[in-house]
Amino acid sequence: MPEYKKDGVQAFPGSGQLKADDKAVRNLQKRIRDLEEENDILKKAMHYFAKDRH
């Protein structure tokens, strides 16, 4: 219950509502996934074009 004492009714928001910190973390995690996917695509493209040079 320390979360409730600290954050009151926002400690357990429910209904899919996130606290600001949780929302920021979730957004950053999504950004990391997106960047990793872009990086993988670029690596594959690099290998594809490097293969044509040899």
pLDDT at residue 11 in the model? 62
pTM above 0.75, yes or no: no
Query: How does DSSP assign the chain, residue by residue?
Result: -HHHHHHGGGGS--TT---HHHHHHHHHHHHHHHHHHHHHHHHHHHHHHHHHH-
Q: 45 with 38: CB under 8 angstroms? A: no
pLDDT at residue 19 in the model? 81
pLDDT at residue 15 in the model? 63
pLDDT at residue 2 in the model? 66
pLDDT tens for each residue of 1-52: 666 566 666 666 666 677 888 999 999 999 999 999 999 999 999 999 998 7
pLDDT at residue 8 in the model? 64
Residues 16, 4: Cα–Cα separation, whole Å: 17
